[in-house]
Structure 1
Amino acid sequence: MNFASDNIVGASPPVLQALTQANVGAMAAYGGDEITRRVKARFNEIFEREVSVFLVTTGTAANALALSSAVPPYGLCVCHREAHVIDDECGAPEFFMHGAKLAGLPGVGAKLTAEGVSAYLRGLPRAVKQMPPKALSISQVSECGLVYDLGELKELGDLCREHGLAFHMDGARFANALVSLGCTPAEMTWKQGVDILSFGGTKNGCLMAEAIVVFRPELAESLDYRSKRAGQIVSKGRLISAQFEGYFAGDHWYENARHANRLAKLLSAGLSELPGVRLAWETQANEVFPIIPAAMDKALKEAGVLYHPWTELSLPAGETVGPNEALIRLVLSFATREEDVHRVLAIARSASSRQAAE
């Protein structure tokens, strides 16, 4: 029972079927094929406007290249201090930005607020010695499983316009956030001021497919060249595009995200009923962050349940993890089985009962 992440499982059947079909015969290389043309047109439909789309193989490539198009080498990109771009990508964004910096700010649940970002920007000295802010990057879903609602996104978008910042969204779990909010892709992005998006597919059913979606045309001008220099213009590009074709067909991507989110709610509700268990943050997408007794943590691990411990850095005010407690992350995916969720809950209940009897 593996709840370590949503990128530990393979591709979903419709994606694999589309790949198998695309594998037959010869097609133009380097994205010049008909499948890629269809997929790029589909992105236009999804976002209700013409967009520039650059297909890449990893989320790190999508984030690093997206930010490199928005931030010059002397510039600053503001993000949360636990954001994936600053904490989990081995300096790739700074590398591809050719020396630009990421500035990590605090925020409960790994989310930024317009008020907090504004205060930080106002406090920056205006001198050549200080790198000027050029972009804001947020994770949707955040690293603590929280979703920015449309009002929060609009406030951040308005702030970016006020300060002349490019607004980047790391959408590794884009579909999970989308179904959580019940809105359209357009409403969650450019209609709230997002300029450039890292559109994730790998965590939600693709084998290895991500996209950079650009809403502000000038940010797209250099991305073909940047992608080539980064080794992300793939000769058999149709095999990336085909994954998205299977992913989007019949709204399969929505179905996958709804499944993962539903099971996360089921697991979250079940754990929350147990004595000594509380949620560090509300379950809003496909990740659950419970604070559990150490004995329950031990029982789950001994039963073969796989998951990661999590950082306490962005806990709400007044919340702490005690010496006999553990804060853990459990991630649900499109491939998670409901029976495995019930098995985890049964193990947790048994551990709770044993502890109560001692």
Structure 2
Amino acid sequence: MNFLSDNAYGALPEIVAALSSAAAGTASSYGGDDITARVESRLAEIFETKLRAFAVISGTAANALALATLCPPHGAVLCEAQAHIAVDECGAPEFFTHGAKLIGIEGHHGKLTPASLETTLARFHQGFVHQAQPAVLSLTQSTEMGTVYSLAEIAALAKLAKAHGLKVHMDGARFANAMARLGISPAEATWKAGIDVLSFGATKNGALGAEAVIFFDPALAGDFEYRRKKSGHLISKMRFVSAQLEAYLTDDLWLKAARHANGLAQHLAEGVQGIAGVEILYPVEANEVFLRLPTTLAEALRSGGARFYDWSPPENAKSTIRLVTSFATPPEDVARFVELASK
């Protein structure tokens, strides 16, 4: 029963097969291959617009290089306080922007609100040389707490950011899970709502190591290609990264995998709801479930074979834990977890 992360599981069979196929014969290197070209064309179809798409092998690279392209060294990136870029990327965004400042804003259930963003923006004075200048708003979809921004919420935040001259980036490491929840088109969820650049994740949802940085305005891509090369993410055999993305995007595999993960998270939440001493901390809208429960129960679950992370240190004999379901989580693991928690 592995609920540590959606990274804990391997890869979708279709993606493994695509890699095997890509290994046959020869192809141009450094992204000059046919597969890479097809991926960009397919993304343009899915998002219903002209775009530039660049493959990289990690979400940290996608976020850091995207933000570095949008934000000058003297700029500031505004994000939710617990965002992955602020907490879990070891300063990579600051490093690749050559010193831009990340400003964390306290959110509600992992989401920013127009009010909190407006309050933060009011602290900065445009053209004041002693302050970093806000340049980018970064939104995480789905959020670190497993919640999902609605279309209206994205549009309101993007509108406010753009009124202040900011570009809008979306960290979509779990974008597929958000799309499976929202049931709207990828275009509506991104550029039509004001998103300028998307870090489009695949690794957490069944790829071995593949992400794409998507610029919805090709002119914004600027010097991204050079930044990707300088950072070591222009892979010589890029076709093996692109082959994963091509398979991921074929026949809506990315959405099917996300629906599996989301559905199991819902079953898990429904199963533990009502168990004495167990509290679900945030709405379960994607593939993460956060629980507060007696520390003795957490220990019993681990003894029974369940694996998960403590989200914060135990306090007053209570533990806060995170459970993540994935594209390959067996339904019987969820059933077994609920059974153990009910004892």
TM-score above 0.5, yes or no:
yes
Instruction: Pick closer, same or farther for the CA change 1:48–1:81 going to 2, 3 Å.
Output: same
Contact 2:50-2:217 at 8 Å conserved across structures: no
1:311-326 to 2 correspondence within 5 Å? 311=312, 323-326=316-319
2:339 is aligned with 1:338: no
- Could you give the per-residue CA deviations for residues 56-111 of structure 1, whole angstroms, max 9, x where no partner exists? 00000000000001100010110111110010000000000001110111112121
Instruction: Pick closer, same or farther for the CA change 1:160–1:216 going to 2, 3 Å.
Output: farther
Inter-partner Cα distance in structure 2 for 1:46 and 1:327: 38
1:119 Cα deviation (Å)?
1.1
Inter-partner Cα distance in structure 1 for 2:97 and 2:72: 6
For 2:103, the equivalent position in structure 1 comes to: 103
For 2:290, the equivalent position in structure 1 comes to: 289
Inter-partner Cα distance in structure 1 for 2:263 and 2:83: 25
For 2:84, the equivalent position in structure 1 comes to: 84
Inter-partner Cα distance in structure 1 for 2:166 and 2:218: 15
Contact 1:271-1:290 at 8 Å conserved across structures: no
Unaligned runs of 5+ in 2: none
1:1-358 to 2 correspondence within 5 Å? 1-126=1-126, 127-311=128-312, 323-350=316-343
Inter-partner Cα distance in structure 1 for 2:222 and 2:63: 16
Unaligned runs of 5+ in 1: 313-320, 351-358
Partner SS state of residue 109, structure 1: coil
Partner SS state of residue 122, structure 2: helix
Inter-partner Cα distance in structure 2 for 1:270 and 1:257: 20
RMSD of equivalent CA atoms? 1.1
Inter-partner Cα distance in structure 2 for 1:161 and 1:105: 17
Partner SS state of residue 48, structure 2: coil
Deviation above 6 Å: which 4+ runs of structure 1?
none
Inter-partner Cα distance in structure 1 for 2:312 and 2:139: 18
- Could you give the per-residue CA deviations for residues 152-198 of structure 1, whole angstroms, max 9, x where no partner exists? 00001101210010100000000000010111111110011000010
Q: Which amino acid aligns with 2:29?
A: A
Inter-partner Cα distance in structure 1 for 2:305 and 2:182: 33
Contact 1:68-1:93 at 8 Å conserved across structures: yes
Q: Which amino acid aligns with 2:210?
A: A
TM-score with structure 1 setting the length: 0.94
1:322 Cα deviation (Å)?
5.8
Partner SS state of residue 310, structure 1: strand
Count of aligned residue pairs for this structure pair: 342
Contact 2:50-2:218 at 8 Å conserved across structures: no
Calculate percent identity across the aligned residue pairs. 48
Inter-partner Cα distance in structure 2 for 1:346 and 1:220: 50
Contact 2:80-2:139 at 8 Å conserved across structures: yes
Q: Which amino acid aligns with 2:87?
A: D
Partner SS state of residue 108, structure 1: coil
Partner SS state of residue 131, structure 2: coil
Inter-partner Cα distance in structure 2 for 1:43 and 1:196: 13
Inter-partner Cα distance in structure 1 for 2:161 and 2:342: 47
Inter-partner Cα distance in structure 1 for 2:134 and 2:208: 35
Inter-partner Cα distance in structure 1 for 2:152 and 2:218: 25
1:123 Cα deviation (Å)?
2.1
Inter-partner Cα distance in structure 1 for 2:240 and 2:336: 37
Inter-partner Cα distance in structure 2 for 1:114 and 1:52: 29
1:42 Cα deviation (Å)?
0.2
- Could you give the per-residue CA deviations for residues 187-243 of structure 1, whole angstroms, max 9, x where no partner exists? 110011000010000000101000000012332011111100011111100000100
Inter-partner Cα distance in structure 1 for 2:231 and 2:194: 27
Inter-partner Cα distance in structure 1 for 2:288 and 2:308: 11
Partner SS state of residue 104, structure 2: strand
1:304 Cα deviation (Å)?
2.0
Inter-partner Cα distance in structure 2 for 1:125 and 1:213: 30
Inter-partner Cα distance in structure 2 for 1:116 and 1:78: 11
